Structures are given as C-alpha cells and as structure tokens.
Amino acid sequence: MDSIGVTADIKKGVYVFNGVAALVFPTAEVSTHFFTTSQTERSDALTAGGYSDCGIMGYIYPTQVCGSVPLYRAHFIAVNTDYLYTISAADRDNAVENQGFTDEGV
C-alpha cells in the first residue's frame, strides 16, 4: 500500500498513529544523515550542525509493537557527524568496543 493509502486508512480509523516521528537531516557531506526523535537535537542539528531538514523519514515507537526491533544509535565522537544506526546489537557492541563509538542507546 502506498503512503496515500496509509494516510487515508489512518483517517478512516483503520490504523492508529502512535509513533514518534524520526527526523532525518543530511549534511553537505555525501551520505551523512542524522536521525533523531528529539526536538532539541533537531534544533541543534539545524542551527549549528550544518544539517538540512528532510522531513519525516519514518516512525519510531517508544516500546516494541507489531514485531518491531530496536534501532540503536552510536556516535563516533572524534568525527562529530559520524553516526552508526543499526538494528544489530552485535554491530553496535563491536562499534563501541572496537571502533571508538559511544553507545547512544535505542
């Protein structure tokens, strides 16, 4: 089903929206994106981080629903714009333990 159909179904009450918007911001650098559900991080990324607002790219739920899986975020502090987004706890752990990333949670 396309997004227009989903939107129509939400309006009809077929689906209930209860997710938090994930906001994505690409920088001028190729393939660098920043995903957040925090309005404070969003504002900081737009004003000082060099990011542009791409709008809503998906939805994040605060708890597991419908067979969803966690999306982990890790930050490589040495390169301020380098983030790792993964659904794999093993990939996250490897990045933190062996590659210098800092775990920023789910």
Q: Which of 52-61, 70-79, 96-105 has the highest mean pLDDT?
A: 96-105
Q: Compute the mean pLDDT over every residue in the chain, rounded to the nearest whole number.
A: 74
- The pTM score is 0.60
Question: What pLDDT, on the 0 to 100 scale, is given for residue 5?
Answer: 53
- Element spanning 93, H or E: helix 89-98
